[in-house]
Structure 1
Amino acid sequence: MKAIRVHRHGGPEVLSYEDVAIGPPGPGEIRVRNRAIGLNFVDVYFRTGAYAPPTLPFIPGNEAAGEVVAVGEGVSEFKPGDRVAYIETLGAYAEERNVSAHFVVRLPDAIDFETGAAMMLKGLTAQYLLRRTFRVEPGHKILVHAAAGGVGLMLTQWAKHLGATVIGTVGSPEKAELVRANGADYVIDYRKEDFAKRVREITDGEGVNVVYDGVGKATFHGSLDSLRPLGYFVSYGAASGAIEPFDIMLLMQKGSLFATWQLLFTHLAKREDVVAMSKELFAVVASGAVKVPVHTRMPLAEVAEAHRRLESRQTTGATVLLP
């Protein structure tokens, strides 16, 4: 079968389209024929070495959707032919792969493979951010950075569904239009405005309850300045680089703030949470409250170009790779 392998860390050029042999599923595993594969910024982190893979070479990719081909010993929840989606660290950039049944869920008939592949990592990230890290309720005011990205658009729609006032930041007029179309109450072009100052204006000087920040270094201090006292700074990515070390007393000085960086896989450690979180995600998508826009479809063999577009922030919504 064909798969993408990385033999050394580096730029998109290290993504190699190769023939790879895999064995039958082991105990507790499922073999899945991928129909669509999600593209995420975490894939870039593994490719460059910012996140360390277990070994070199490795197959990147953290989410996909497809059909069960075979099940390993001890797997009774799934059978060949089942439509499934999954999320797991590494291995999805392939025509087929073996995946732990722990991270596999049934894909509802109402959700197609491309949407399923595009929604697992981003959607479950949005779920734990909005429902488990800081539980957004009606009346809350929130700030979403990179609101035109895959996670950003889902955060925006879901938070509006929950009754929040959503402020999104973007880097172009085109992205601003997209975010407004997805329900944001206010959109700030950070290239033209001081977003922290604008947030204070929008909130009559109070600040927001929570900032969801997947950008990192470039937005950290402005994010703290956007929060009301006892507000939550929630980091989930570092697209602009890692946040530099800071004195924890800064949080006190900025208004006795909370700050956290949580990992999705910590939330997915228990099988019952994988199922419950996925069920809530599927429900809001199937209801139409949250739409998963797949804006770009590319062959798996062209993944290097897909990474170039992702890193240069040329993408909006989700990109899926087709084996």
Structure 2
Amino acid sequence: MLTFSIAKHLKARSLLPSSTYFIQRTMSTMKAVVVEEYGGLDKLIYKDIEKPTASKDSVVIKNHIAGDAGEVTEVGEGVTDFKVGDRVVHLAGSGYAEYTEAPTSTVEKITHDISYETATAAAIQGLTALTLVRDGYPVKKDDYILVHAAAGGVGLLLCQLGKHLGAHVIGTASTDEKCALAKENGAEFTINSSKEDIVQRVNEITNGVGVHASLDGVGKATFDISLASTRRLGTLITFGNASGPVPPVNLSVLTQKNLKLMRPTLYNYLATREESRRWYDELFALIKQGVLKFHIHKVYDLKDAQQAQKDIQDRVTTGKLLLRP
């Protein structure tokens, strides 16, 4: 997946008057991908927009990788935790651009032994995977865990974390090649969803009991499968909408097996500075220990954002896609 939801996080601004274009382009504009109206991929427009400046309690970041990671170039009033030159990762909006203004509450420093590419891959997908297995369902040794889209960015990390925690990871993917990749990253079992019955295979693997937890980032297309695959007293976590949002659920379906149902969002784990630092510290420690490795499918130029999005829609990618301004 790309780093951010395009419609939510890209903001469009008007071009400056043509009479001042050259001067302003060299002093106060930047290249960015913007969405000015809803539509197809052709609505992702690469253009010049106004360069941001730092306001109170914010910093301006020159993005080395669009969306998440870069270098602080300006600090606003009241900022004491950051200085110009700091290498940082951020979860601010308007990230498909050369520069981003970010509230300091969304920014964390990164050390020089973590690349901007790794930091970007880690920020959204790494934190998502970590919070799922640590808080959403605290994975324990010998648990059976079902991971949908196991060859995707979050899926590969869930396979790695599940193996690290001693769980039996069952990964689903749409091709034999993607199943092989999931196995390389820690899945003990894989299910080719294009030619195998997932529920049947889960029952075979777990002797008819089902998994302790289903971690479902696909959404609408797999919710019922996850429900059927989860054992009595188990946990179903739906955390993504790759196939569309899950339709309204009659909660009485949970009573059949006394299931727990959760729909988390990452940002509610990062609501305070203390929470943010806790999760980032654990994530970066796992990276430095070699527990987590990030599969980067390709780094695209920012101007090629349309192609990157098309590749995702065509399901020809695995792991993480990055954009470089």
TM-score by length of 1: 0.90
Hey, which bits of structure 1, 4+ residues long, moved more than 4 A? none
AA in 2 matched with 1:79 = K
| Residue 245 (1) aligns with residue 274 (2) | no
Figure out how many residues of one structure are paired with residues of the other and give that number: 296
TM-superposed deviation, 1:22 = 2.7
Q: Aligned equivalents of 2:77 and 2:165: distance in 1?
A: 41
**Aligned counterpart, 1:297:** 299
Report the counterpart of residue 72 of structure 2 in structure 1.
68
Match of 1:7 in 2: 36
SS in 1 for 2:208: coil
C-alpha RMSD of the superposition: 1.0
Tell me whether 1:84 sits opposite 2:88 in the alignment.
yes
Determine the C-alpha separation between the residues in 1 that align with 2:32 and 2:242.
26
Corresponding residue for residue 188 of structure 2: 185
Match of 2:64 in 1: 35
Code of the aligned partner of 1:31 = V
Q: Secondary structure at the match of 1:20?
A: strand
Equivalent position of 1:107 in the other structure: 110
Q: In the alignment, does 2:170 pair up with 1:176?
A: no
Cα distance, 1:12 vs. partner? 1.3
Q: Secondary structure at the match of 2:65?
A: strand
Cα deviation 1:156-177 (Å, max 9, x = unaligned) = 1011111111000000011011
* Larger Rg computed on CA atoms: 2
Kindly report which structure 2 residues correspond to 1:1-323, keeping only aligned pairs within 5 A, or say none. Answer: 1-37=30-66, 63-88=67-92, 90-253=93-256, 255-323=257-325
Contact 2:151 2:181 (8 Å CA) reproduced: yes
Distance in 1 between residues matched to 2:107 and 2:130, nearest whole Å? 17
- 1:188-221 per-position Cα deviation (integer Å, ceiling 9, x unaligned): 0011111011011101111111010011111111
CA deviation profile, 1:233-286 (whole Å, cap 9, x unmatched): 101111111212232111112x11111101111111111111111111111111
1:147 is displaced (CA, Å) by 0.4
Distance 1:93 1:257, change over 3 A: same
- Counterpart code for 1:118: A
The gaps in structure 2 that reach 5 residues or longer are 1-29
CA distance in 2 between partners of 1:114 and 1:171 (Å): 26
Deviation at 1:313, TM superposition (A): 1.8
Q: Distance in 2 between matches of 1:287 and 1:13?
A: 42
In structure 1, C-alpha distance between the alignment counterparts of 2:40 and 2:165, rounded to whole Å: 39
Please tell me the residue identity of whatever aligns with 1:156. C
Deviation sequence 1:80-111 (CA, Å, 0-9, x none): 111111113x2110001100111111112221
Structure 1 unaligned spans of 5+: 38-62
Shift of 1:6: 0.4
Cα displacement string for residues 95-129 of structure 1 (whole angstroms, at most 9, x for unaligned residues):
01100111111112221111111220001111211
Question: 1:132 offset after TM fit, Å?
Answer: 1.4
- Deviation for aligned residue 1:294: 1.1
Q: Aligned partners of 1:240, 1:301: CA distance in 2, in Å?
A: 26
More divergent stretch after superposition (22-31 vs 160-169): 22-31
Cα distance in 2 between the residues matched to 1:127 and 1:72: 32
Aligned residue identity for 1:217:
K
Q: Which amino acid aligns with 2:63?
A: N
Name the CA distance, whole Å, in 2 between partners of 1:288 and 1:83: 21
Name the SS of the counterpart of 2:249 in structure 1.
Answer: coil
CA contact (8 A) 2:217 2:242 kept: yes
TM-score when normalising by structure 2: 0.89
Give the secondary structure class of the aligned counterpart of 2:322: strand
Shift of 1:21: 1.0
Q: Tell whether the 8 Å contact from 2:52 to 2:60 is kept in structure 1 after alignment.
A: no
Q: Which residue matches 1:52? A: none
Residue identity opposite 2:89 in structure 1: A
Residue 312 of structure 1: CA displacement? 2.1
Distance in 2, matches of 1:223 and 1:3, equals: 39
Task: Give the conservation status (yes or no) of the 8 Å contact 2:52–2:99.
Answer: no
Q: Secondary structure at the match of 1:130?
A: helix
